[in-house]
Structure 1
Amino acid sequence: MGTAAAALAGAAVIEALARGAVHHRPGTSGVLLTAVFLALCATAPLGFLGVIGAATAVVAAAVLALTITGMLPVASAAAVVVAMYRLGWGAGSLAEPRARGRAQESGQIRMRRLAGILAAGLVVPFPVIALSVSRTSDAGVVAVVLTALAPAAAFAGNAAHARSEARVHQAAREAVARSLVEHTARGERARIARELHDVVAHHISMIAVQAETARLATPGMPPAGAERLLAIGDTARAGLTEMRRLLGVLREDAGPPDEQESRHPQPGLDQLLALVDAARRTSGATTRLIVSGAPAALDPGVELAAYRITQEALTNARRHAGGAPVDVELRFTAEALWLRVRDSGPGPGAGVGTGDGAVNQATDLPAGGHGVSGMRERATAVGGRLTAGPAPTGGFVVQAVLPAGSLESTNEIPDGDTP
């Protein structure tokens, strides 16, 4: 706006000097200087004053030029139109206080009213001049033109600002609508994932458990029947694995972009030490990792199951063992990985059983997909077994055997203090 104001000021001064030279008469030098000064005053304020100040100064100088010198350069008249357009625009945007809510709204309303009243007042002098001077004179012609253009410019500025605000509000509404749609879609995907995990995955895991149990517990079963039951169990476990992958995709879509953990490698036995250290820091209790046997690389699914079982068992110990020491024990054999998480806390409350069917009422949360049932499902999904219950020497113990190879010779989890 500064460059445009300078250009208008230069054009107005040149036109004022040119017209003064054409109509120069003795004793009119003062009038010529006044016309040049008012031409500057009717254009230059656009470059360094605010909307209200510039409009007031430009219109006042133009009115004085018409009444004192009887002429107004075209550039000065154009400056009046520009100032009125800016004032009309400013009637909707002058107030932008830092406060939000009602304070901001009331401030905008007050400034819009002020700008609107000022715009109406600034156009009044031009029809008065047009009625008081000859319409054939330069002053009369310019006054008539400004009588029509000044309010039209103010109205156009106000309308342009209203359109701009409408576009901004429309864009905001569309953004909110898109956000709501995305949020609803993420919530629906999360709900589907929960249903699949807590209901369907549980039933599939039970199919695998029952097929394995029927194959091992039915005496005299024909080999063909045993093979078919084994195939049922393998198919169920494969389906459970594929479902877990699908759940990973659903949860990735349902979570925020910066929490898409499924894009990172799944944890395994290599991260158990860090998990134990984190549990020790979180609970403040003594937590040990005891490893025996020759560590060997296992199937990634088995390692993930061991990690998640340990993670859930440590979480339950932190919640219910009252800060008692916790031991995480691993034993590697050629056939299986033996896992035991044992605490020496006060022990489970009423309703705790033992053996494969044991359920710890204090920690089992089947409705949320956590607790003993969730750990048992993870063990079963990879062909292993898990029990949970009170330890013989007090506290609570979670024991699991996960296959390193064939599991036919490791179907029972031994009792005692050594996994």
Structure 2
Amino acid sequence: MTPIAVRTGDNGWVTQADRLVDRVAAISRRITDAPEWPAVAAIGLGTAAVIETVVQLEGTGANLSIALLLALASTAPLAVSREHLVLGAGVVAVANLLSVLAYQWTTVAGLVALLAVIYLVGAVIVTGRRQRLKEAAARDESSRLVADTLLEHALRGERARIARELHDVVAHHISMIAVQAETARLTTPGLPAEGADRLVAIGDTARAALTEMRRLLGVLREDAGTEPTRKPQPSLQQLVDLVDDARDSTGASTRLIVHGLVGPLDPGLELIAFRIIQEALTNTRRHAPGAAVDVELEYGADELRLRVRDNGPGRSTGKSGEGHGLLGMQERAATVGGWLRTGPAPVNGFLVEATLPIPRPVSSETVAR
């Protein structure tokens, strides 16, 4: 018989058989969720089984006592199905089987009880599987949240260190403004009083800004977990020493290759370029010990390009295995509007490549405008 199809809005065509199955499943769930259903089912089915046994075996000469015992055993264990499901299901199944073997039949109530315990066992198995899946999903979500939190903390610390270093550079510039303003006031012959007052104001403003900058640097050092240092921030002038140190520490070939017209750049840009190369060399020592490394520096008219390549076995660039070094390099490049790419080199090994825009110098005419 072909089931009748029923149109149900946007859900498509659903057969009456599907609707009936869903309804039966819903009713079954409501029944099994009721706390009193095992006892009620056991009493009802047990009574029905006893009556059916008496009716079927009356006048046959069969041992009625054993038949009644089997009838009760095939239904009554439903009463303990919540606490002892496996035991109850086993007794119901065995009692029905013995009834068939002994009398070539079993009660309808016994069969209903058997179907009920089979349903319960299946529901427990399915529910348990769903629960394990839910627990696994919850664990995965918890692990992801923990990893995201740790990553966010790491990024904050890295950004604090970057900001601290760049603020050191800015603080140096501010101090130079104060010094030059004071020097100009004292060494300029015939300087009008109004001009001297303006230079004094410039020096006072620079010193006030420097005080606030030092206060901010103290906070950034606390966030980054670093101690104050009087060493100047490195620049590309120390790049030769950095490459020499890398070569001496690993014993492997480490070359510095420079292209283009070398000239002084913005101190903040040189600091970021130096730190990216430094971190790339550190990662090479950590992940590809003994590998040869080429450090390339290319000066362009509008940008500075960096490439650090080793000939090691390469390594994963996924976030789960990259640590915080690559993320720190990406943060540094983004600070000056540049970009950084990391990944396997064209033939073998690992490549770190960055492009950093060179800021255009600000002319006095632009400032006046």
Give the TM interval when normalised to the shorter protein. Answer: 0.3 to 0.5
Bigger CA radius of gyration: 1
TM-score (norm. length: structure 1) = 0.34
TM-score (norm. length: structure 2) = 0.39
